[in-house]
Structure 1
Amino acid sequence: MTTPSNPLSGEMVALIERLAPNEGYSLSALDGVRFMRSNRPLGRTPVLYEPSIVIVCQGRKLGFLGDQVYVYDAQHYLVLSVPLPFSTETQASHDEPMLAVAIRLDLTDVAELILAIDARAGTPPDSAPLGIVSTPLAGDLAEATVRLLRALSVPLDAQILGPALVREICFRVLGGEQGGAMRAALAHQGRFGRVAKALRRIHADYSQPLDVTHLAREADMSVPAFHVNFKAVTQTSPIQYIKSTRLHHARLMMIRDGLTAASASARVGYESASQFSREFKRFFGRTPVEEVRDMKASFALSPAAPVGELAFTH
């Protein structure tokens, strides 16, 4: 595995190893910030990421969407401006687990930052909006990440300093190498913005009946135009996106909440449990029972570590 060139990587790794002792996902002391840990390599795995910044401190992940491959490791971070189902490959081992911090984007805070950055620049970005980008990790962003991890290790620091540090990280990303494309996407203007609105609607109401004609009307597009623009952003059709969103949420319900396949299928809007099982196996390549058994560790959600017991010297 490549040795990280970032001089702060060692401290990042030590902090996350203590903050996320369990494999899978771990909550932090701050809402909207989670840790990701994998103690083993994982082949191509379907995932669903919300709009977020993912900074890998050790190990490597590859993201696959359409014909594009996105690398996020100790030298690169990943940003998603819209919720996207895609697939990932994880490079990790027991001795060098994959360790990452994921920061959910608060669209209200992000909108304020975009206004401030564009006002200072004098003109809005002329970059094409992108739903997902992988970008080299600059020193100022790495430093802000270390300060956030330190703050999350102390309850009072997490409460007082944490929100401002998250805001700084978002600011560094929006002003970074591909910040223009992210600002253009997150401003939710034009056709990209109308598709982004439809994606938010799907994620809010995935358990309800969703009609593509109605979604297109809400986006102020004809159905053919909606299909074309939707696929340009997500690399899939609206129907397939709705289906994959429901299947991803059902998988998490079975893994994290212990629901049966029948209960999860009803919870996400399926009327037929047998249809759910068929589509689940077609999408994930395994039955619900097999998928839950094999992915339980990778998608488990652990509570925040008892950070009051953590002690670090700076």
Structure 2
Amino acid sequence: MTTSSPTVTEQMAALLERLTPHEGYNITGLADVRFLRSNRPLLRTPVLYEPGIVIVVQGRKRGYFGQDVYLYDAQHYLMVSVPVPFTMETDASESEPMMAIYIRLDFTLAADMMLELAKFGQTTATPPRSMMSSPMDETMRHSVLRFLQVMAEPRDAEILGPAMLREIYYRVLMGAQGAVLRSTLTLQGQFGKVAKALRKLHAEYDSHLDVSALAKEASMSLPSFYSHFRTVTDTSPIQYLKSMRLHQARLLMLRNNLTASAASRQVGYESVSQFSREFKRLFGLTPLSEVERMRKHFSMPAPVTASAFISSH
């Protein structure tokens, strides 16, 4: 009796099973790559992803952004081009955990790749988007499998990992949503202006928000800035800042053992009671209860290198 060979997806799942000893985020040999594991379903919860690529190998995630639903599972991967707050839910169980690869976007690598592609006429005027879900075609699937095979061996990961990561970027930029992504990363037009303002907002999130200064940074009038900011982020500058501060405060309490009072001050709140009310409104639990829940169920180690963006992870 012959037994069938494992599929590419099954091989990827077996490799990630080894590479995700902890539920939550697992650090890897590459600074911008983490492996994610979840052993339980997660109802809709607020998240703030920094720009990056999420490749789900087993299980399923759904992201809700504005009126759109973004599916990312073994057949689709998610690309986030600017940091936007949205809600997300996960299908997972102990017997079939959700396992994924999270790659923080390296803008320099992406720009270099786009310059190379431009030599072959790969330019586009496609409208940019904040998020996009793309089909996981066979070419991409095999590239991801080779990437995981390399990452499973520490020496291979150090020597070959960066080249394999470059291959992943190439597949993404040439994939079904590649034209949209290439257009997005050029940061042209109103989208690019808002992206520039977002970078300033993330750098100065703990100070007083001056929307006029942000509009000036974006070279827009105030009404135009409000309108385009909402188009890109699906929220207002004030609500965006509030979400960013609360996500950062949660990480500070989780990773640095700060009290709610200390964390609220560090992210720019003047009132601890206001912070606690808004925290519970966003996450559904008090700061203490939410941090206890995260510590019990979800590993959230700090990234190997600092990021220019605040995020929920």
* TM-score, length of structure 1 as denominator length: 0.91
How far apart are 1:236 and its partner, in Å? Answer: 0.5
How far apart are 1:268 and its partner, in Å? Answer: 1.2
After superposition, residues 196-235 of structure 1 pair within 5 angstroms as 196-235=195-234
Whole-angstrom CA distance in 2 between matches of 1:155 and 1:74: 25
Structure 1, 224-233 or 260-269: larger mean CA deviation: 260-269
Whole-angstrom CA distance in 1 between matches of 2:296 and 2:65: 24
1:245 counterpart residue number: 244
Is 2:32 the partner of 1:32? yes
Counterpart residue type for residue 69 of structure 1: V
How far apart are 1:297 and its partner, in Å? Answer: 4.5
2:309 counterpart residue number: none
After superposition, residues 73-112 of structure 1 pair within 5 angstroms as 73-112=73-112
Give CA deviations for 1:8-47 in whole Å, capped at 9, x if unaligned: 1111111111111111111111100001111000100111
Whole-angstrom CA distance in 2 between matches of 1:164 and 1:199: 30
Instruction: Report if the CA contact (8 A) 1:187-1:193 is conserved.
Output: yes
1:8 counterpart residue number: 8
Whole-angstrom CA distance in 2 between matches of 1:188 and 1:302: 31
Give CA deviations for 1:190-211 in whole Å, capped at 9, x if unaligned: 1101111111222222122231
Whole-angstrom CA distance in 2 between matches of 1:167 and 1:273: 45
2:144 counterpart residue number: 145
Counterpart residue type for residue 105 of structure 1: L
How far apart are 1:302 and its partner, in Å? Answer: 4.8
Instruction: Report if the CA contact (8 A) 2:53-2:102 is conserved.
Output: yes
After superposition, residues 1-314 of structure 1 pair within 5 angstroms as 7-121=7-121, 124-297=123-296, 299-302=298-301
Whole-angstrom CA distance in 1 between matches of 2:267 and 2:7: 45
**SS of 2:64 mapped into structure 1:** strand
Distance change (3 Å), C-alpha of 1:254 and 1:299: farther
* RMSD over equivalenced CA pairs, Å: 1.7
Percent sequence identity is 54
Instruction: Report if the CA contact (8 A) 2:255-2:301 is conserved.
Output: no
Whole-angstrom CA distance in 1 between matches of 2:302 and 2:193: 36
How far apart are 1:252 and its partner, in Å? Answer: 1.5
How far apart are 1:285 and its partner, in Å? Answer: 2.3
Instruction: Report if the CA contact (8 A) 1:114-1:187 is conserved.
Output: no
Instruction: Report if the CA contact (8 A) 1:30-1:162 is conserved.
Output: yes
Instruction: Report if the CA contact (8 A) 1:117-1:175 is conserved.
Output: no
Instruction: Report if the CA contact (8 A) 1:25-1:298 is conserved.
Output: no
Give CA deviations for 1:242-292 in whole Å, capped at 9, x if unaligned: 110111111122223322111111221212212211211222222112222
Distance change (3 Å), C-alpha of 1:303 and 1:191: closer
**SS of 1:301 mapped into structure 2:** coil
Instruction: Report if the CA contact (8 A) 2:23-2:38 is conserved.
Output: yes
**SS of 1:121 mapped into structure 2:** coil
* TM-score, length of structure 2 as denominator length: 0.91
2:311 counterpart residue number: none
Counterpart residue type for residue 42 of structure 1: L
Structure 1 gaps of 5+ residues are: 1-5, 305-314
Aligned length: 298
**SS of 2:194 mapped into structure 1:** helix
Counterpart residue type for residue 87 of structure 2: S
Instruction: Report if the CA contact (8 A) 2:255-2:302 is conserved.
Output: no
Instruction: Report if the CA contact (8 A) 1:252-1:299 is conserved.
Output: no
Instruction: Report if the CA contact (8 A) 1:62-1:70 is conserved.
Output: yes
Distance change (3 Å), C-alpha of 1:144 and 1:230: same
2:3 counterpart residue number: none
**SS of 1:125 mapped into structure 2:** coil
Counterpart residue type for residue 219 of structure 1: A
Instruction: Report if the CA contact (8 A) 1:255-1:299 is conserved.
Output: no
